Structure 1
Amino acid sequence: MTAGISTGTCDLPAADGSWRTVELCAPRAWQDHPQPYTSRVAFAAAHVVADPLGENVPGAPAAVDWETTLAFRRHLFRYGLGVAEAMDTAQRNMGIDWPAVQELITRSAAQAREFGARIASGAGTDHRLVLSTVAEVAEAYLEQVEFVEGAGSQVIVMASRHLAAVARSAEDYLSVYDTVLGQVREPVILHWLGEAFDPQLSGYWGSADVDTATATFLGLVRQHADKIDGVKVSLLSADHEKGLRAALPAGVRLYTGDDFNYPELIRGDGSVHSDALLGAFAAIAPAASAALSALDDGDLDRYDAEINPTVALSRHIFARPTFYYKTGIAFVSWLSGLQPGFTMIGGLQSARSVVHLARIFELANEARLLPDPELAAHRLGLVLAAAGVSR
């Protein structure tokens, strides 16, 4: 019997060929919270849902299931989360092309206005195939910034692979960002994406030494503090984030991008805390909502009780190679009944093993994040059967 599914239990495979039986946890009735939170600003970086009939093979133009993609954003709004749109979670630089990005931002921004929800969207340089100079990189950034602002979204200035390739010094980075920040209309979010998420961004800010790069980054933020709403840092180091957070100018937020250590960083130490811009929140939206509601109530014990059971799931989704975490986000969405199929643009559904996916199911089940555990177990069984795994 495929996956050993029976009423109330599900058998899961391990890499060594063994199997384990898990109990299906009763679904939890999570509370809706369509209003934003008062104690933290929270964005979920949302994925895109592929058209299952589209030619979503590696290198092909993205074919997106727009209805389901937008419905997923309404799911996030339901829990009071803003949407961080067209980020790496949405497969920027890993399948989604610029025409699809433009349509995604336009549609999502319009929907956010309709629901009174917050949205911030990524502006980068990926619409240009070749950029040879820092001046050309700055020009490309400004083209995307203009588009995002024109769509009615806040801008997230994403890290640029082009800039990482052509920059020869910290001054080259500062030159580009000075130009961009000098022309934005409203305060932006700066995104420092670490090489665990994108190896082509190694040495960003002009140095492979994190302390040296941080000094360059801080100097930029201090110079342009009036144009920066906050910074999103995705280096997966709680200690680094705490140090950076303490050094930021007054009024500049730190949006944690640490999908391993977000509970303690968002909780804070009683005087300072991080806000959130997390891909993990797309997978754990109901639990994140419950935890943020507890923070609004000043109930730290309830916050811990709500957020801590999600950590094992997030850490597994973001396990190395970290840049394939998008596969786990889409898989949880499918298991949860939020999309009709487990197909991704660029064929990225193949980026994780069935053993890895089975563990995602197990951890989502333990966190009571599966609205219909029997459906989720059935869908896992379909994946295992397609891979030739049976007991």
Structure 2
Amino acid sequence: MKKGNYQKETLLVHEGYDSGQHHDSLTVPLYQTSTFAFETAEQGARRFVGEESGGIYSRLGNPTVRVLEERMAAMEYGASALAFGSGMAAVSAILVHLTKAGDHILCTRGIYGCTFGLLNIMKKKYNITHDLAALATEEEIEAVIKPNTVCIYVETPINPTMEIVDIELITKVAKKHGIQVVVDNTFSSPYLQNPLQLGANFVLHSATKYINGHGDVIAGILVGSDKEEMDVIRGTVQKDFGGIISPFDAWLLIRGLKTMHVRMERHTKNAEEIVAFLKASDHVENLYYPFDENNPQYEIAKKQMTAGGGLISFTVKGGMKNAQKFMNELALIKIAVSLGDAETLIQHPTTMTHSGVPEKERLEMGITDGLLRLSVGLENASDLIEDMKQAFAEL
């Protein structure tokens, strides 16, 4: 593709693909192959030592996957991207890359339940310790950094409390100490937030969510600001641990990316209407949404996000009993633990995504028994509101 100073919407459709190199196919072809043939033994030898570009084996690289990686690197304003078989494969890869036995990881006080589980595995097996902290001020960050801290791992908005973390503040302090910053950007998507531009070293996504957008792929993406370091990850952790994406899943993600900007705008518009409804409901105790003007972190959200996105969390009065009853009375909204799909989904973090987190840590994260997480889909917002109205009426 002839290079230009293109906007995000154009990059989502075109970046990383030259049809002239693929038999003039308008759509990115699916290279559904495990291996690639060499014309000669010498050519194979040259490719294995990096003297010649070209296919070797799809765990080491695939043309369809390369298009996805180049498009995601452009969307996050990064130097390079790697695609993985799941979001957790991307999380595992970057944490394994950055740490060794005895190191320390500093995390935001709320993180995805499986990331929490991975950190506990690393602590038990390799004495790689971690702390969860608010990280709201420079003083708070400085107070919890240790001599062996090598990584600050950030979720923002945090899953599922929607707490906002000031990425620029985190990176400012981290750079003083030579600490790498990793940001899980799944909830915002690269269309609404770009952590690398705010100083982070790495950004990752569960591409299962907004990047795909259709609920039919499990995948992860890691984007880095330093190409040489990303090449090291490609040639070590990704290659040898093997958590790669399949060409078909990469092809589906490329297809999903073409409409991500349109979808994110609709997700956000619907979410804003539902936020207004929930704020007026007598059944809702607390509501958490980045662009809610009553959100104490509203100004931080506005500084680093272009819109509030499609995720809302709220607590139902009456605790777990009423929260679960409300979910069971819904007719249109589906009970499911993912997010970013065309369908609106609701889940109960205490008993679902964060059920593996001990109660003490879960409550410290702000995950109470009455908390629900709503992933607003692409339906008509009035239909979703009517569904919630009738469900609330049964409480």
Q: Which bracket does the TM-score occupy, shorter chain normalised? A: 0.3 to 0.5
Bigger fraction of residues in helix? 1
Greater Rg over alpha carbons, structure = 2
- Asked which structure has the greater RCO (Cα within 8 Å, sep 6+), the reply is 1
